[in-house]
Amino acid sequence: MPGTTGEESRTDSCAIVVTHYPGLKDLLGLLNELNRETDFLVIDNGSPQADQYRASILTCNRCVGFLQLPENIGLAEALNKGLQEVRKRNYRFAFLFDQDSRPGDAFVNNMLAAFARAETLAEGRLAALGPRIINHRNQRQTPFKLFNRLLRRSDQPFHGASGLFQADFLITSGTLLPLACLEQTGDMKASYFIDNIDLEWCFRARMRGYELAGTSDAVLYHAIGEPSNNPLVRRGLMAQHKPARTYYSSRNRVHLYRQHYAPLGWKLRDIPRFFLKAVWLILTSTERRQYWRNISAGIRDSRNLDGDEAAPGRGGSDSAHRP
């Protein structure tokens, strides 16, 4: 039976929170919010200080486990380990969370209610539901994007329903997955390690005939990338990461461009965007040499990744290449 102890603790959902050098205040804030509504599992990806906050996490009555990994195996594989664990415990749903996200009021209940509505409209072919993402740094809302047209299309109603939106892509954090669908869609692609995992999985789910939906009935406060004084970053028009992350984002994006299930509309928009952002980083950043090394190495190593999507029911098996 899922949950902690007793029939009164039974729940259909379990949240998976992956940590890596977390800010303790933000992490405990997230877990306290989850503890009010759902069971949760924490997977630490090789943080040396994990023992310092392990005891605090395990005092939460809805915590069903704390898996402390000896090294960083990557976000994708850590999520896969969490998904394997919640499936063993016979939950129906899994929520995926980054360590620094903050759910809005009644997040879990609102997401489950929205999923029930969307699943009926999708006639059981709904692979995932995402919340409305709000950047807590600038309060900018992230639209639910579609890539099936050359012109930008966002926030289109899902089967005409109020508060539900079509989506070709959902950000990992806050996403609700029905575990039964993973047998057909497959788990996260382990070889991607950290970046573009959500893009690849969403494109693969859509290729296999599933729908994705977003809802404005549940809000998640989440910022992508590092804080910056750059006006484009501050306005939320562009995300900026440290040079080491650009290795994975470059490698995985270029690899995904070659996959048949990646939408043509996304490729036509993303390729020039990737090129312009790379040029901007290399020309303007004080860390231009590090950016150049990591971007060029990522593009080169994209040829070494396997060409197949993750198999149904498990993550990819190949190891991650590091810069």
- Whether the predicted pLDDT of 86 surpasses 80: yes
The mean pLDDT value of the chain amounts to 87
Q: How far apart are CA 108 and CA 113, in angstroms?
A: 9
Helix axes 288-301, 264-284, angle to 10 degrees: 150
- Provide the pLDDT for residue 233: 52
Residue 3 or residue 225, greater confidence: 225
Residue 87 has pLDDT above 90, yes or no: yes
Which of 178, 127, 194, 125 lies closest to 14, judged by CA?
178
CB-CB contact of 150 with 265 (8 Å) = yes
Give the model's pLDDT for residue 314. Answer: 43
Over 60: is that where the pLDDT of 227 sits? Answer: no
Of 12-26, 142-156, 229-243, give the lowest mean pLDDT range.
229-243
- Give residue 139's pLDDT: 81
pLDDT at 210 over 90: yes
Name the CA radius of gyration of the chain, rounded. Answer: 19
Res 241: pLDDT: 62
Q: Which of 14-28, 127-141, 249-263, 302-316 has the lowest mean pLDDT?
A: 302-316
Contacts of 21 by beta carbon, 8 Å cutoff, 6+ apart: 47, 49
Ranking 18-22, 48-52, 90-94, 223-227 by mean pLDDT, the lowest is: 223-227
| pLDDT tier at 305, thresholds 50, 70, 90 | confident
**pLDDT tens readout for residues 12-26:** 999 999 999 999 999
Beta bridge partners of 178: 93
Q: What SS3 class is residue 155?
A: coil
Provide the pLDDT confidence category of residue 238 given band limits of 50, 70 and 90: low
Average pLDDT over residues 252-263: 96
Query: Sign (positive/negative) of CA torsion 188, 190, 277, 271?
Result: negative
Q: How confident is the model at residue 310 (pLDDT cuts 50, 70, 90)?
A: low
Look at residue 285 in the predicted model and tell me its pLDDT.
Answer: 84
CA distances to 253, 257, 267 from 275, in Å: 11, 13, 12
**Alpha-carbon torsion (97, 99, 104, 108), positive or negative:** positive
Does position 228 have pLDDT exceeding 60, yes or no? no
Residue 216: the pLDDT is 97
HEC sequence for 25-76? HHHHHHHHHHHCCCEEEEEEECCCCHHHHHHHHHCCCCEEEEEEECCCCCHH
Among 58-67, 269-278, 313-322, whose mean pLDDT is lowest?
313-322
* Residue 151 pLDDT greater than 70, yes or no: no
- Using the 8-state DSSP alphabet, how is residue 131 labeled? E
CA distance 35 to 58: 11
Predicted confidence (pLDDT) at residue 196 exceeds the cutoff of 50: yes
Tell me: pLDDT of 194 over 90.
yes
Question: Which amino acid makes up residue 269?
Answer: R
Q: Which of 44, 37, 88 lies closest to 62, judged by CA?
A: 37
Percent pLDDT > 90 in the chain is 72
Q: What are phi and psi of 259, to 5 degrees?
A: -85, 135
From residue 103, give the alpha-carbon distance in Å to each of 35, 190, 249, 307: 12, 26, 26, 36
Give pLDDT tens digits for 96-142.
999 989 999 999 999 999 999 999 999 999 999 999 999 877 788 99
At residue 5, the pLDDT reads 39
pLDDT at position 148 is: 78
Q: Residue 8 above 80 pLDDT?
A: no
**C-alpha span between 19 and 294 (Å, rounded):** 24
DSSP string, 247-314: HHHHHHHHHHHT-TTS-HHHHHHHHHHHHHHHHHHHHH-TTHHHHHHHHHHHHHHGGGS-SSPPPTTS
* Global pTM value: 0.88
Q: List b or e across 98-123, with b for residues whose CB sees 16 or more CB atoms inside 10 angstroms.
A: bbbbbbbeebbebbbebbebbbeebe
